[in-house]
A and B are shown apart, each in its own frame.
Chain A
Amino acid sequence: MGLMEEALQMVSEDAEKHGLETIDKVSLIVGDLSNVLPDALRFAFDAFCKTGEIPRIGERAQLEIIRERGLARCALCGKEYEPSEYLALCPECDMPFGVIQSGETFKIESYEGS
């Protein structure tokens, strides 16, 4: 709930600056390693759409979640791999502490309003 509220407040404030009255769609980029759960975001988004407590976010607003895949590079053998949840272990040599190349993003890509 907290993160979605944060994101929607940012969108709402930006929309106000642009003189928009309603937000039709919000597009977020969520990395696999960002510690943000897409399901939790969707749940929170629907809740905020219903309560209408965030200005300019109403019942008809849509949420788009763009996934960014996680990618780590092994510190030992240099292999690039998709790390599993919280432990980046190299599939080749079992070395932990893979250096994260991507997948930590959690940002607002864009929104549409009118």
Chain B
Amino acid sequence: MKITLEKDVMENNDRAAEFNRQLFRQSKTLVINIMSSPGAGKTTILEKTAAALSGQFRIAVIEGDIATERDADRVRATGVRAVQIATEGECHLDPRMIAKVLPDINLEETDILFIENVGNLVCPSEFDLGQDHRIVVLSTPEGNDKIPKYPLMFHVTELALINKIDLLSYTSFDLEKAQEDLRGINPSSRIMPLSARTGEGFDDWLNWVKEAYQACQKR
């Protein structure tokens, strides 16, 4: 028997993302979805960011991981609220997973919500979570070729944090080439080099977050 379905595959996700987006708008919470391959430094960046901004903003973090609570524990140690989503094998977060944990977040009491996506440069880029901003972290040891190899990730994000620049001299990573490759895929994105370890360039990132927060209060 042949059944004609004519159904949009992303229909449910798009609706769930829109639902989340409405809630974020209502509470005027800035929501940033952070993606990268495993080990690029997402959790370290969030630890430092939480420590630097928690005096000024009420921060919460959602940690997506395939199995463990470890990243949420690391973030909690900085004193901010963190909720772990164990995706049980899924290689990405989807908007319904986010909607399910929102009651634990208390958006009304949250100025900035960071979402650390599952470490993977492919699937997370396919799912809109309802966030305000999507950013990607690429660390210098991973190499320049990740930008042309995973174009969708760099296409859907608006900022590429180039982390671990303290290791630049040990790697063949080329910052200018990264900016150039990125321009070819997404002219409205840009790179921002930093080191979560030494703190170099970190103020640029903190300023970016603060500006995004101001912009989100006005909409």
Out of B2, B127, B184, name the residue touching A2 (CB < 8 Å). Answer: B127
Known: A1-B123, A107-B8, A107-B9. A14 touches B91 (CB 8 A): no
B215 CB → nearest A CB, Å? 23
- Our count of residue pairs bridging A and B at CB distance below 8 angstroms stands at 77
Tell me whether B23 is interfacial, beta carbon within 8 Å.
no
Interface-centre pick from B10, B91, B94, B185 (highest chain A CB count, 10 A): B10
Which residues of the other chain, B, contact A111 by a CB distance below 8 angstroms? Answer: 2-3, 5
B121 CB → nearest A CB, Å? 12
Please determine whether A112 and B7 come into contact, CB atoms closer than 8 angstroms: no
Please determine whether A3 and B2 come into contact, CB atoms closer than 8 angstroms: no
Residue of B nearest to A15 (CB): B3
Please determine whether B126 and A112 come into contact, CB atoms closer than 8 angstroms: no
Please determine whether B4 and A109 come into contact, CB atoms closer than 8 angstroms: yes
Please determine whether A20 and B92 come into contact, CB atoms closer than 8 angstroms: no
Please determine whether B10 and A6 come into contact, CB atoms closer than 8 angstroms: yes
Bound complex: CA A18 to CA B1 (Å) = 10
Please determine whether A109 and B6 come into contact, CB atoms closer than 8 angstroms: yes
Please determine whether B6 and A18 come into contact, CB atoms closer than 8 angstroms: no
Tell me whether A101 is interfacial, beta carbon within 8 Å.
no
Which residues of the other chain, B, contact A106 by a CB distance below 8 angstroms? Answer: 8-10
- Taken residue by residue from 1 to 24, chain B's Cβ proximity to chain A (1 for < 8 Å, 0 otherwise) reads as 111111111101100000000000
Footprint of B on A, CB under 8 Å? 1-3, 6-7, 10-11, 14-15, 18, 20, 28, 35-36, 40, 85-87, 96, 105-114
| CB pairs A–B below 8 angstroms (25 shown) | A1-B91, A2-B90, A2-B94, A2-B123, A3-B10, A6-B10, A10-B9, A15-B3, A18-B3, A35-B126, A35-B152, A86-B185, A87-B185, A105-B8, A107-B8, A108-B5, A109-B4, A110-B2, A110-B3, A110-B4, A110-B5, A110-B6, A111-B5, A112-B3, A113-B3
Footprint of A on B, CB under 8 Å? 1-10, 12-13, 90-92, 94, 122-123, 126-127, 151-152, 155-156, 184-187
